[in-house]
Amino acid sequence: MLKVVKLSLVTSAMTLMSAGFANAGVEDDLANICTIVQADDKGELRKKMRRVESDYSLKLHDYYSGISCNGNSLIRTAIESNSVEVGTLLVKKMPSSKLQDPEADGKTLQAWIDEKGYQDNAIAIELKDRI
């Protein structure tokens, strides 16, 4: 798990560096975001998102696709961990158009939810209402 997270963060950092961002600490600031999502710590996630936005001028949709938690996106991780508060926050903070984009495995969130049988999950319901 840790290797996947580190690899994703390094990939994100390299992408941001090539785009001209000064991001020496972006990796460090996003390092434990998977743990925060799994723990359903909404306050800590808000704090982390604010810090990344103020320090690096990055919104959630700018770094969302570059983070992988055990091969899953942040919202998928929240659904699997039943982290309702964090998952709902992530769904609300992401642009609705981005919520419909295919993820790393080529499946949209809704297709993945239907495949895994998470239709009754509170985050899945929030997602469906949003898109």
pLDDT at residue 86, as a whole number: 93
Rounded Cα distance, 25 and 12, in Å: 12
pLDDT at residue 65, as a whole number: 84
Question: Are the C-beta atoms of residues 91 and 57 closer than 8 Å to each other?
Answer: no
pLDDT at residue 77, as a whole number: 92
Rounded Cα distance, 8 and 46, in Å: 21
Long-range contact set of residues 94-100: C-beta below 8 Å, sequence gap at least 24: 94/60, 94/61, 94/64, 95/61, 96/130, 96/131, 98/61, 98/64, 99/75, 99/127, 99/130, 99/131, 100/131
pLDDT in tens, 80-114: 999 999 999 999 999 988 888 888 888 888 999 99
Q: What is the mean pLDDT of the chain?
A: 82
Number of helical H runs and strand E runs in the chain: 10, 0
Confidence bin at 130 (pLDDT 50/70/90): confident
pLDDT in tens, 4-13: 545 455 455 5
Domain ranges of the chain: 2-130
Q: Is the pLDDT of residue 46 over 90?
A: yes
pLDDT at residue 61, as a whole number: 86
More confidently predicted of 45 and 2: 45
pLDDT at residue 22, as a whole number: 47
Q: Is the pLDDT of residue 54 over 80?
A: yes
Q: E strands, the chain, where?
A: none
Q: Which two tokens stand for residue 75?
A: 């919202």
